Amino acid sequence: MTTAVNSNQLSSVTGVMNYLAPESKVLRRFTAPGNSVNTGIYDAHEVPVYNGRPIQDSFDFDVHGFEIVHQPSAVKDFTDKEEMDRVYIPEVEKFVKERTGADEVAVRGWTLRRAEAPKENDSQPAAGLVHVDFAPEGAEERAEIIYQKTFPDGPGFSRVLTTSFWRVFSPAPQDWPLALCDFNSVDPAEGLPNQLFFVDEIPEKPYGPLNGLKNEVSGSEFHYNPEHKWYYFPDMGRDEALFFKLNDTDHSHAWRVVHSAFFDQTAQATEPRHSVEFRTYAFFH
């Protein structure tokens, strides 16, 4: 039975979260060779981020949208692409299928993120905006494309669950941990789609007419809401992972988790945070 999460019994640190500014209404990201433009405007807000360690077993995947799991990996070097493709992909695919009970799982690849010098090991910077990777707008249409490419002879699906499997492999403590927002503290109507466009040249008027451009994928970004309840799990080890929902077409339970990296001023980190995130589509007949 899931224990109710009560943040009043937990210690917290102050995290600076980059939310959409109130005037930011049109979200588009144009990516061209050697250049990228995002039309979003952001405000920094200080919020309490609660230490979920003392009650980590109380978080439920279908109630809060996330959980922390003990999941050792046979990978020796998470920066070795060949080893990651050979060992980590089947590991995560197997975990997601067993954990969710899905009939099929489509792998959407993995991304390394590093708090400093992100270009090392082909990493990306820590994702420091309040967001969800996939917006509900167009989710089923994109899932249908993925399904047909991955399972062309499959019977189809009635539900698709998009997830992130996040592991940090740099030593604790982490200077830029990942914060997760309790699904129950986010209104279903919150979030604006941030449309991604791959273009040859950045448009002269990014806010203007799209002139037939088709967006590749949309994430969701969020305006500040003081009701949001943020949690993090300090001192994560490489045998642990955060498993959370990016989008679930079944809205009868938790179906997404707003999240963001943040700088923990209390952590006496000796190395920049280095992590790997792995996205999957879990399909149910």
Given phi > 0 = left and psi -120 to 50 = alpha, else beta, which region is 101? left
Residue 214 pLDDT exceeds 80: no
Q: What is the pLDDT, as a whole number, of residue 126? A: 86
For residue 119, the SS3 value is: coil
In this structure, the number of other CB atoms found within 10 A of the CB of residue 26 comes to 13
- Res 216: pLDDT: 65
pLDDT in tens, 141-167: 889 999 999 999 999 999 999 999 999
Contact 219, 133 (CB under 8 A): yes
The type of residue at 121 is N
**Which residue has 């990296």 as its token pair?**
261
How confident is the model at residue 2, as a pLDDT? 44
Closest to 139 (Cα-Cα) out of 247, 277, 214: 247
Q: Tell me which range, 105-109, 121-125, 278-282, is most confidently predicted by mean pLDDT.
A: 278-282
* Cβ-based neighbours of 208, under 8 Å, separated by 6 or more: none
Tens digit of each residue's pLDDT (9 = 90 or more) over 90-119: 999 999 999 999 999 999 889 999 888 767
How far apart CA 249 and CA 161 sit, in angstroms, is 7
The Cα 143–Cα 94 span in angstroms is 19
Q: Which of 147, 78, 161 has its CA nearest to residue 114? A: 78
| pLDDT at res. 31 | 77
Average pLDDT over residues 67-71: 98
Asked if 191 and 220 touch (Cβ cutoff 8 Å), the reply is yes
**For residues 64-68, average pLDDT:** 98
Residue pointed to by tokens 């969701």: 220
Exposed, middle or buried: residue 37 (CB in 10 Å: 0-12, 13-18, 19+)?
middle
Other beta carbons within 10 Å of 185: 15
Percent of the chain with pLDDT over 70: 96
Query: Do 142 and 201 touch, CB atoms closer than 8 A?
Result: no
Pairing relationship of beta strands 274-284 and 159-168 according to DSSP bridges: antiparallel
Torsion angle, CA of 99/146/40/188, rounded to 10 degrees? -50
Distances (CA, A) of 22 to 133, 148, 266: 21, 39, 30
Among 198, 245, 184, 201, which Cα is nearest to 220's?
245
pLDDT for res 41: 92
* Residue 237 pLDDT exceeds 70: yes
Distance in angstroms (rounded) separating the CA atoms of residues 262 and 178: 7
For each of the domains in the chain, give its residue range(s) and CATH number, in order of start. 43-188+220-284 (2.60.120)
